[in-house]
Amino acid sequence: MRIASLLVVLFCTVSCSSDVSVKQPSFPQLGKYWVIDNGCNFDSESVRLADEVFEKLRQGRIAEVAVVCQKGIRNNGPMDDDKIWVRDWGRHVKLGDVKENRAVVWLIRPDVKPEEHRVAITVSEWLYWYTAIDYREALEEAASYANSNDFSGALDSIARNNDSKLRERWKTHR
């Protein structure tokens, strides 16, 4: 009898715990721009200018860069957090040149507290020469804007800093 009760409790614990996990939002598709806005309310001029910068980086075969603003992404543990979501989104939309796969994806989460890291970045493996040392300042600056609820400022910062640093680093690594 005790074993049967223990098995029922164990079964309920395992099956019930999977229902408690928070589901991540579905992946949005790239549209007209390299910028997806699902909650930041970027101003249209910031989107246009960022898209122009990112398109020039793509045309120069340096890298494909995208920014996703997405609500609802939660930290559900080390295998299901914002960094995993943004990495998998980049793979889902097949970001990066097919041959060389150079891609940078920025994520802004407008609905989390600043201490939960509103801004994240993922860099594809073929951009081994674009390291955390290179994008640290850009990440900090973008986070500063996002943490002040200036999401258009964060987008402007990301576009400006990625353009200059990627071009600078590309000169020595092409």
Residue 14 lies in a domain: no
Structural tokens at position 1: 């009898």
- The predicted pLDDT at position 74 comes to 85
80 pLDDT band (50/70/90 cuts)?
Answer: confident
CB neighbours of residue 101 within 10 Å: 17
Pairing of strands 119-123, 103-108: antiparallel
The whole-number pLDDT of residue 24 equals 85
Q: Is residue 5 part of a domain?
A: no
Cα 174 to chain center, whole Å? 25
pLDDT digits (tens, 9 = 90+) for 102-154: 999 999 999 999 988 899 999 998 899 999 999 999 999 999 999 999 999 99
CATH, residue 117? 3.10.310.50
Q: Which domain holds residue 112?
A: 27-173
The answer to the question of residue 2 being in a domain is no
Q: How many domains does the chain divide into?
A: 1
- Which pLDDT value is given to residue 18? 42
Tell me the average pLDDT across 37-42. Answer: 96
Structural domain includes residue 120? yes
Read out DSSP for 12-68?
HHHHHHHHHSPPPPPPPPP-SSSEEEESS---HHHHHHHHHHHHHHHHTTS-EEEEE
Percent of the chain at pLDDT above 70? 87
For residue range 10-33, what is the model confidence (pLDDT) as tens digits?
Answer: 334 434 444 445 788 888 888 888
